[in-house]
Every structure is written in C-alpha cells, then in structure tokens.
Amino acid sequence: MDRADPIAGRPTRGIRAAARLWWVFFRVGAMNELQYRVNFFLELFQSLVALATGLIALALVFQHTSSLAGWSKPELLAVMGVHVMMGGIIQTLVQPNMDRLAREVQQGTLDYALTKPRDSQLVISVREVRIWQTVNVLMGLIVLGWAVTQLQRGIGVVQALAFAGALVLGAVMIYCFWLVISTGAFWIVRMEEISELFQGVYQAGRWPVTVYPAGLRASLTFLVPVAFAVTVPAQALTHRLTERTLLVAFVFAAALFAFTRWFWRVGLRHYSGASA
Amino acid sequence: MSAVVERSGRPAAPGLPDRPRVGRVRSMVDLYLTEMRTAIAVQFQYRVANYFYMIGMVAEPVIYLVVWSSVARSQGGAVGGYTPGEFAAYYIVWTLVRNINIVFTPYGWEWRIQKGQLSGQLLRPIHPIHYDLGYFAGMKFVVLVLWLPIAAILSLAFHPTLQPSGLGIGVFFVALWGAYLIRSLNMWVLGMITFWTTRVSAIFELYMALELIFSGRLVPLTLLPGWAQGVANFLPFQWTFGFPINALVGKLSTTQLLEGLGMQALWIGIGATIIHFVWRAGIRRFSSVGN
C-alpha cells in the first residue's frame, strides 16, 4: 500500500517514485556543476591524457606480440572502451555518493539523510552526480565504436542487447560492492582510502580477466566484480559470451543486490549517529 | 672556532649573530632528524589507512607484471631481455621504489597556497624545502616496514629471479635516495607553478603521463621503441624508476651502475639550481592568501 506524500499527494514508494527522486537530485547536481565550466575542459584534458597512456600501453604490448591470452588488438581495444565507459559511469553516479556517505558517517551528518521520509538506501545512493565525468562515458563509446569497426566479426542485434544487459548488470554489481564496503564505515569509521583502493583494483579491468592467474581472476570476479563490469560486456561484443555466463551474471547481481540491502539495514541498526 | 666562520651569501637576520658553519650543519641535521621522527610518529598512527593506500598501489605493478609475463611466455620465454621471473623481480622492486618516490606533490602546493600555509613557513629562518625533504624521508621508514609483508606475498605468488651483484645492492640503496631527491626537487619545481596559476592539475597530469612512459614505471625501458629510449635519455625520469630497479634486478654493468649514480647527481644539481632561481622569482610574486 502506498503512503501518500503529504504535500504533492504522490506515491513515495515504487520504481517511479525512485526514478523521480533520482531525477530531482540529478537536475540539482547538474545545475551545480554547470556553473563551473572550466572543469569540463580540465576533465576532458585529463581523460585524453589517460586515454593516450592507455593506447600507448596497448601499442607497446602489440609491438611484441600478436595476441594476448587469445585476444586480438581490436578486441582489447573494445575491452579498453568498455573499461573507460564503465569508469565514467562509476565516477558520475556511484563514487561521488559513496564518498559522501563515508564522509558523513565520519562526521555524523548522515543523520540529515536518514531523517528524510524516503528509503534511506535510495536517498544516499542518488544524492550526488558529477556530470562532467560523463566525458569518460563518451570517450569510452568512441573507443568502442572504433574497436567494433575493426573487429573481424561484426555485431548483430543479439550481441548489442547482450552487451547492454551485461553492462547494466555490471554497473549494479559495482554499486553493490561499493555500498557494502562503505557500509563497513558504520563499524570502522575511517573509510576514505576506499576510493584509492577501488581505483587501483579497477585498473585491472583494462585487460580481460582471463589474462590473470586463477586466484586473482576469481577475486576480480566475485570479490571485486570488475570481471562482470568490464570483461563480460566486452565478451558480448567479441562473440565470447555464453548464455550461461550471462545467467550467472544475472543471478550474482540479484543475490548481491539482496545482500547489499540486508547489510545496509544491519549497518544502519548499528549506527548511532554522532551529531545528536 | 673563528677560522671556520664563513659568511653565507645572505646577510644574517637582524639581532642574530651569524652562526659558525659547524653549528649550522648541526642544526640542519637536527631539523631533518626532528622532521623524520615526527613523520614516523604521525604515519605510524595511520597504519591501516597507509595499508589501504599501499594495497591500491600494488594493483598497478601486478597488472603490468601479469600482462608482460604473459607476453614473454608467448614469445618463447623472454621479451626485451626480461623473462617472466625477471619481470616479477622488476615489478616487485618497483613497489618499493614507487613508495620511496612518494613526495610532496603539486596538489599539496595548491593546498598550501590556497590555505595560506606557505605564509607561516616563510617566517621560518630555513628554506621550506628542508622541512618537506625531512618529513617525507621519515615517512619512508614506516613505508618500508609496511612494505616487507607485501613484498613477501608478491614473491611467493610470482617467483622473482633476482641476481644482484654486491655493487648492485650498494648502488641500489644509494640510488633509492637519489631517486627520492630527484623526484622531490622535480615536484617542487612543478609545484611552484602555483605561484603563477592556481590550477596546476592539468600540467601535473601531463607530467605524470610522461613520467609513466619514460621512467620505466609502465614497462622496463628496453621494451620501448628505439626513438623513445633516446628521448628518455634526455629526461630525468628513468633515474627515479628504471635505474634503481635495474640496479637491484641485476641488469646493469659496473660502468652503467656508476654512470647512473653520476646521472642522478647531475639531475639533483639541475633540480636544485632551478629551484633556487624559480623560488626567488616566485616568492616575489607571491601574495598571501588566507590568514
């Protein structure tokens, strides 16, 4: 049963209400960032530098070999495109919220978010947006488009759909992973270095996880779901993705989401606030 | 004692007698030791945070190591003169050299100027660079203790082949500090750009990208194409990464080892000279912000 919003009389639960809340925060965040237009060019410049170094690393590898763990150069370019794009999505939507959460737990100001008459996990997940980071999403798309035109086998509707599905599942898993870690802040308090740690580990996704030794590969799949976020979507584009992998991705994403929700509530019960 | 009295180029501060050189050296040593002790105490407090930071940092060389070992194996056992075992040695030593290379960055400069921290430092009688050099040098002792278990785990996982000569080991320990000094001085020069513009991040990113490629941080320099190796010879970067690493991994002849130390000395001299002049110009431009 929907409780009605006392002011507008609109429902406060359900997907549509969540989407509307996200849209409100998105607009405020975008308006805020649009004031600082120079930042766009700085972001663009930084993205170009990062992209150039990535391409140079790729070129160096292929100066000495013709394939890496069975992946050709255009295929690895596709992996890189997905990596840059997913990185952009994370930095636009996920990381700023998680950084703010960690900061607020430490400072005790999280109470302001918790007293809002909406689902607390939803509120803390949508408050921040860094629209200039979408530069990386565009850049990733360009690299991806470039890679796809060079692939031996083109992509059909099935591959495109599988790619989109895998990408969404991957993004959900990264969000869940980060929220679970950030929820740890309720016990550990100081979690600022999580971003550093994640950025470091995420770099591993620039290469297909099949390159890594078994132990690392397993960690990059189920511990930090970089494999699902980058390698699996790239597999969809390079005709490597089996239905089974996609199914595993779906089940794992659903399980991880349920666990995250449960763990967030446990953490909240543990949280006593610091400002009061 | 009056025989050792030497006047510095600068006039002594009013009201203070110009101290004899021995006393000055001693007080400088004292300053460094105090800064180092402070750093050790502060950094050891935050060892968990430091550990997170170090683990995030270890991901980078492990990725390079895995990729290049895989290339080496596919090319019949070695690429650019490195076997998988030597790549392992290279990138494990890399983790130590990288940590030694952490110095006061231009971002710190930006912060220091924006917050008005620099004004306070200017009031002290000793050039502010000495405080930075001392503090970050002290940090290295904490880092070293934290690094040992990481190195042990990496060695168990990747089986490095390390064949250093006696001289190589000796040169390595000197070269670590040479690298530390070169990078500190370079970052100071870069940081001083904040005297002229408060947005250094773009220049800094570009610098870091060049350093990544031409220092041996991304790959051992022998893997670069010939022309790029030529470019690297005119830049200071390889003396802060590739050289100390290769000294320990055992890739350098006696001549190369000694020449390397000479090159480090040269770049330290260049860095110190640039700082001397840019600092004087910059400090005249500097108008304090903050309180």
DSSP classification of residue A230: I
User: Chain B: residue nearest A65 by CA?
Assistant: B71
What is the residue whose two structure tokens read 């990078």?
B183
The reported pLDDT for the residue numbered B203 is 85
Mean pLDDT check: name the lowest of A6-15, A131-140, B267-276: A6-15
B3 to each of B6, B22, B25, how far by Cα in Å? 8, 11, 16
CA distance B12 to chain A (A): 45
Give me the mean pLDDT over the B262-277 stretch.
94
Give me the mean pLDDT over the B157-183 stretch.
92
Give me the mean pLDDT over the B181-200 stretch.
86
Confidence of residue A8 (pLDDT cuts 50, 70, 90): low
B235 to each of A185, B80, B197, B230, how far by Cα in Å? 44, 21, 25, 9
Whether residues A68 and B53 touch (CB distance < 8 A) is answered with no
CA distance A66 to chain B (A): 9
Picking from B49, B205, B219, the nearest residue to A193 by CB comes out as B49
Q: Which long-range contacts (CB under 8 A, 24 or more apart) does A227-231 make?
A: A228/A166, A228/A169, A228/A170, A228/A173, A228/A252, A228/A253, A229/A86, A229/A170, A229/A171, A229/A173, A229/A174, A229/A205, A230/A79, A230/A82, A230/A83, A230/A86, A230/A170, A230/A205, A230/A206, A231/A79, A231/A205
- pLDDT of residue A189 exceeding 70: no
The reported pLDDT for the residue numbered A139 is 94
The reported pLDDT for the residue numbered B80 is 87
Measured between CB atoms, does A160 come within 8 Å of chain B? no
CA distance B265 to chain A (A): 29
- pLDDT of residue A173 exceeding 70: yes
The answer to whether A3 and A13 are in contact (CB under 8 A) is yes
Give me the mean pLDDT over the A23-49 stretch.
87
Q: Which residues of B touch A50 (CB under 8 A)?
A: 209
Q: Which residues of B touch A212 (CB under 8 A)?
A: 66
The reported pLDDT for the residue numbered A2 is 46
Query: How much is the mean pLDDT over chain B?
Result: 84
Distance CA B127, CA B6 (A): 19
Whether residues B213 and A68 touch (CB distance < 8 A) is answered with no
Q: Which residues of B touch A69 (CB under 8 A)?
A: 70
- pLDDT of residue B66 exceeding 60: yes
Whether residues B202 and A46 touch (CB distance < 8 A) is answered with yes
The reported pLDDT for the residue numbered B248 is 93
- pLDDT of residue A170 exceeding 90: yes
A207, two tokens: 């290469």
CA distance B128 to chain A (A): 28
- pLDDT of residue A273 exceeding 70: no
Measured between CB atoms, does A223 come within 8 Å of chain B? no
Distance CA A169, CA A250 (A): 7
Question: What percentage of chain B exceeds 70 in pLDDT?
Answer: 90
Picking from A65, A193, A206, the nearest residue to B74 by CB comes out as A65
- pLDDT of residue B9 exceeding 60: no
Confidence of residue B16 (pLDDT cuts 50, 70, 90): very low
DSSP codes of every residue in A14-79 = SHHHHHHHHHHHHHHHHHHHHT-THHHHHHHHHHHHHHHHHHHHHHHHHHH-S-BTTB-HHHHHHH
Q: What ipTM was reported for this prediction?
A: 0.83
pLDDT tens readout for residues B130-151: 888 888 888 888 888 888 989 9
The reported pLDDT for the residue numbered A187 is 80
Whether residues A61 and B66 touch (CB distance < 8 A) is answered with no
Residue B41 Cα to chain centre, angstroms = 21
Measured between CB atoms, does A218 come within 8 Å of chain B? no
Mean pLDDT check: name the lowest of A17-21, A82-86, A118-122, B11-15: B11-15
CA distance A186 to chain B (A): 16
What are the extents of the domains in chain A?
A: 15-270
Beta bridge partners of A68: A71
> Does residue B251 or residue B101 have the better pLDDT?
B101
- pLDDT of residue B177 exceeding 90: yes
Q: Which residues of A touch B153 (CB under 8 A)?
A: none
Exposed, middle or buried by CB within 10 Å (0-12, 13-18, 19+), for B245? Answer: buried
User: Chain B: residue nearest A62 by CA?
Assistant: B71
Confidence of residue A274 (pLDDT cuts 50, 70, 90): low
Picking from A57, A190, A196, the nearest residue to B56 by CB comes out as A196
- pLDDT of residue A3 exceeding 70: no
Confidence of residue B288 (pLDDT cuts 50, 70, 90): low
CA distance A202 to chain B (A): 9
The reported pLDDT for the residue numbered A272 is 72
pLDDT tens readout for residues A96-129: 999 898 888 878 788 888 888 888 899 899 998 9
Whether residues A203 and B53 touch (CB distance < 8 A) is answered with no
Confidence of residue B86 (pLDDT cuts 50, 70, 90): very high
User: Chain B: residue nearest A59 by CA?
Assistant: B224
The reported pLDDT for the residue numbered A9 is 56
The reported pLDDT for the residue numbered B241 is 93
**Residue B233 CB partners (closer than 8 Å, separation 6+):** none
Distance CA B177, CA A13 (A): 60
The reported pLDDT for the residue numbered A166 is 95
Whether residues B79 and A65 touch (CB distance < 8 A) is answered with yes
DSSP codes of every residue in chain B = -GGG----SSPPPTTSPPPPHHHHHHHHHHHHHHHHHHHHHHHHHTHHHHHHHHHHHHHHHHHHHHHHHHHHHHTTS-BTTB-HHHHHHHHHHHHHHHHHT----HHHHHHHHHTTHHHHHHTSSS-THHHHHHHHHHHHHHHHHHHHHHHHHHHHHH-------HHHHHHHHHHHHHHHHHHHHHHHHHHGGGGT-S--HHHHHHHHHHHHHHSSSSS-GGGS-HHHHHHHTTSSGGGTTHHHHHHHHT---HHHHHHHHHHHHHHHHHHHHHHHHHHHHHHHH------
Amino acid at A84: V
Q: Which one, of B34, B207, B184, B191, lies nearest residue B112 by Cα?
A: B191
The reported pLDDT for the residue numbered B267 is 96
Give me the mean pLDDT over the A158-165 stretch.
92
Measured between CB atoms, does A22 come within 8 Å of chain B? no
Amino acid at B176: L
- pLDDT of residue B169 exceeding 50: yes
- pLDDT of residue A5 exceeding 60: no
Chain A, residues 37-66, CB within 8 A of chain B, namely 38, 42, 45-46, 49-50, 52-53, 56-57, 60-61, 63-65
Distance CA B128, CA B139 (A): 17
Query: How much is the mean pLDDT over chain A?
Result: 87
Whether residues A64 and B75 touch (CB distance < 8 A) is answered with yes
The answer to whether B286 and B118 are in contact (CB under 8 A) is yes
Give me the mean pLDDT over the B23-32 stretch.
82
Whether residues B62 and A216 touch (CB distance < 8 A) is answered with yes
Question: What percentage of chain B exceeds 90 in pLDDT?
Answer: 43
